[in-house]
């Protein structure tokens, strides 16, 4: 039976972008299925009882975080540009449509590249349509799903189940009863998978 890596992420998270750069290959190397679960980080924090400010509101923390992000981007030899906005909820929802169509990995990869690699504005529906096409999806159908009550309700249910499972931030990877939080825990994840 194929084991599953449940990957909880939010497109507002640059650390989720970094994790996605490595997770698909890690899953293939270890014979696992990678399943994409979009969440909403601010909502997840509140659900977990964390009412503190966002990283962007704590100047000393953002300074260190920016240095870390730039170091990771250099290590992976990838571009890193902050997006023009953090309005990523529709992109998160779109992941569920992509998953239904068997295109979650190409969609998530293309979306992270556009948002954090190119720094596009996620509010731009044209960008979402381009991303859908890049992933082999029908852009109008993807946008219709995002704008439908069906799509929004499905996204709400996925988030609720994630918080009930203990998801409090992103990126988080769950394998069986083990939880790995952060792109810097991928080595621990791979070690765990190789021990079994």
Band of the pLDDT at 50, cuts 50, 70, 90? low
Q: Catalytic residue at 13?
A: yes
Band of the pLDDT at 44, cuts 50, 70, 90? confident
Distance of CA 173 to the CA centre of its chain: 10
pLDDT value at 51 more than 60: no
**Calpha distance 56→41 (Å, rounded):** 13
Distances (CA, A) of 24 to 6, 51, 91, 157, 168: 12, 32, 19, 25, 22
pLDDT one-digit tens code per residue, 117-145 = 999 999 999 999 999 999 999 999 999 99
Domains of the chain, start order: 3-195 (3.40.30.10)
* Mean pLDDT in residue range 69-85: 92
In the chain, alpha helices (H): 14-29, 41-47, 59-76, 89-100, 104-112, 125-134, 139-147, 149-165, 186-195
């Amino acid at each position: 039976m194929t084991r599953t890596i449940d990957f909880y992420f939010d497109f507002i998270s640059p650390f989720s972008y970094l994790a996605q750069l490595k997770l698909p290959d890690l899953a293939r190397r270890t014979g696992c299925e990678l399943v994409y679960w979009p969440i909403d980080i601010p909502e997840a924090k509140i659900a977990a009882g964390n009412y503190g400010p966002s990283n962007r509101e704590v100047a000393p923390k953002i300074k260190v975080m920016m240095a870390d992000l730039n170091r990771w981007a250099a290590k992976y030899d990838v571009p890193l540009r902050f997006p023009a906005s953090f309005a990523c909820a529709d992109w998160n929802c779109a992941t569920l449509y992509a998953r239904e169509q068997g295109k979650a990995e190409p969609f998530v990869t293309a979306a992270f590249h556009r948002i954090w690699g190119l720094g596009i504005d996620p509010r731009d529906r044209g960008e979402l349509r381009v991303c859908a096409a890049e992933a082999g999806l029908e852009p109008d159908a993807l946008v219709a799903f995002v704008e439908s009550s069906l799509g929004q309700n499905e996204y709400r249910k996925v988030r609720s189940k994630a918080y009930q499972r203990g998801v409090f931030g992103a990126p988080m990877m769950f394998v069986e009863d083990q939880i790995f939080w952060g792109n810097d825990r991928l080595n621990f994840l791979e070690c765990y998978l190789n021990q079994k």
